[in-house]
Amino acid sequence: MSAVSPTISICAISKAYTVQHVRTDALQNVSLDIWPAELSLIIGPSGCGKSTLLATASGLTVPDSGTILALDAILTDATDEDRDAFRLHHCGFVFQGFNLFPALTALEQVQIPLDYLDVPVEEALQRAGDAIKRVGLWARRHLRPAELSGGEKQRVAIARAIVKNPAILFADEPTSALDSHNGEIVISLLQNIAHETGATVVCVSHDPRLIAHADRVVQMEDGRVVRDQRPQMAAQRGIRFP
């Protein structure tokens, strides 16, 4: 069995928001290690802090206190520019609303991150095609969002997120706009990506149907982690965790 190190180490972070003089403690002294090659599912009711945890873990926002170490970068000490560069080079994102451009084909949507990375056009087309094939949409690569179903749109979004081979993939409510069948396809894709590429996949959801597909389930309530469970699947795959 081979030992692994956490991709993201979250240590005692807290985050509060004040809206119209009302303070909300979104995160309260949360500590969590997140590991590679598995799908970590963060669940809990609306307002429990799970999306805030994802935003801080990815460097989209900074906690009020505590530290976040991701791939040897201390995100809590980094500048805005450094966090932007970290996400560009190391992270992929999948959102509830797909965030696709109406005028672009599926293949063109997937190629966009590689354009930002200045990947040569020929290589970018090859990699975008490979990503589209991975999510099972090669035959529909020429279609625009209006011609795709909700499940297909989300699969395009996943292809776009993985085309740059990110070390970390963040998914925020990726199945909430989908029916159960398409939700199963999407969550299975995310788990397969973790297992086959070794990526760290962090999924935030309030959908209990996703639990059966997760390698690890972290439950949150009132800004705190109240339960952290991992099935035996990881051990069966020869990975040792502390």
How crowded is residue 183: how many other Cβ atoms within 10 Å of its Cβ? 22
What pLDDT does residue 207 have? Answer: 85
What pLDDT does residue 241 have? Answer: 45
**Closest among 223, 221, 228 to 15, alpha carbons compared:** 223
The order of strands in the sheet holding 224-229 is 91-95, 168-172, 200-205, 38-43, 216-221, 224-229
What pLDDT does residue 234 have? Answer: 45
| Joined tokens for residue 220 | 């949150």
What pLDDT does residue 3 have? Answer: 67
Q: What are the sequence ranges of the domains in the chain?
A: 36-60+80-240
Which fold does the domain 36-60+80-240 belong to in CATH?
A: Rossmann fold (3.40.50)
DSSP string, 121-160: HHHHHHHHHHHHHHTT-GGGTT--GGGS-HHHHHHHHHHH
Mean pLDDT per 10-residue interval, the chain, length 242 residues? 80 93 92 96 92 95 96 94 95 92 97 95 96 96 96 96 96 91 92 95 90 92 93 54 44
Cβ distance 220 to 26 under 8 Å? no
